[in-house]
Amino acid sequence: MGIVYATSNLLLKSLLRIFGDWEVNGKENVPRKGALIIVANHISDIDAGILNASIPRRIEFMAKADLFQKPIMSQFFRAYGAFPISESGREFYSINHSLHILNRSGAIGIFPEGAKNPTALGQAMLGSAMIALMSGAPILPVGITGTESVGNGIRICYPKGIFRITIGKPFSAPVVRDKRLRKNAETTTDIIMKQIAALLPERYRGVYHNAWKGNRSYTSPPEWSNVKLNNPN
């Protein structure tokens, strides 16, 4: 598993038990082997760590590219299983790397919103759906509550609060009928986010609450607009 990953997980589990009220529900839903895409809401910097501590699989995470700018921190994040994602929409290393991990039956973690939304679910990006459609890997939804009390920075070292991690049942992206990746990615993104929302209290569901009446206008890199999708199944 790697000494950095194992040691960091052990330390965070200890901190969560000492300072917080941490509870995980649905561990039985986690496939112990095979490719897996883990998707969750994102409300605090501690979310990736708490998912690693809560899910009995080694997870490799997408993380912001600016976290990898300093050599020492870059080495730590990579040892912890993180890999950079560009926010420019012009590089696809993160998607290709995700597919590589899934091809070797690994598990990847993605926060589809692409940024923290401490109060409720915000509009998601299309990356998680693209990866699911291109790989055919099962998707595991997870709902996180309480980590907004931790916030960011040094407070991760003493995580006080009531933390609830709810793991849903794995599901697959819908069978592809229209071969255009963009069209299917939008539909699949809605499905993914509604699965996450169903695991959260109503006040956390935001733009994916059943009562929400607004429009969701998804954006994606222009290069993907006309890509044709071959059904991996």
3-state SS record for the chain: CCHHHHHHHHHHHHHHHHHEEEEEECHHHCCCCCCEEEEECCCCCCHHHHHHHHCCCCEEEEEEHHHHCCHHHHHHHHHCCEEEECCCCCCCHHHHHHHHHHHCCCEEEECCCCCCCCCCCCCCCCHHHHHHHHHCCCEEEEEEECHHHCCCHHHHHCCCEEEEEEECCCECCCCCCCCEHHHHHHHHHHHHHHHHHCCCCHHHCHHHCCCCCCCCCCCCCHHHCCCECCCCC
CATH fold of the domain at 3-224:
Glycerol-3-phosphate (1)-acyltransferase (3.40.1130)
What is the per-residue pLDDT for 232?
Answer: 47
Residue 90 has pLDDT above 50, yes or no: no
Predicted TM-score of the model (pTM) = 0.87
Average pLDDT over the chain, rounded to whole?
A: 84
Reported confidence tier of residue 76, pLDDT bands at 50, 70, 90? low
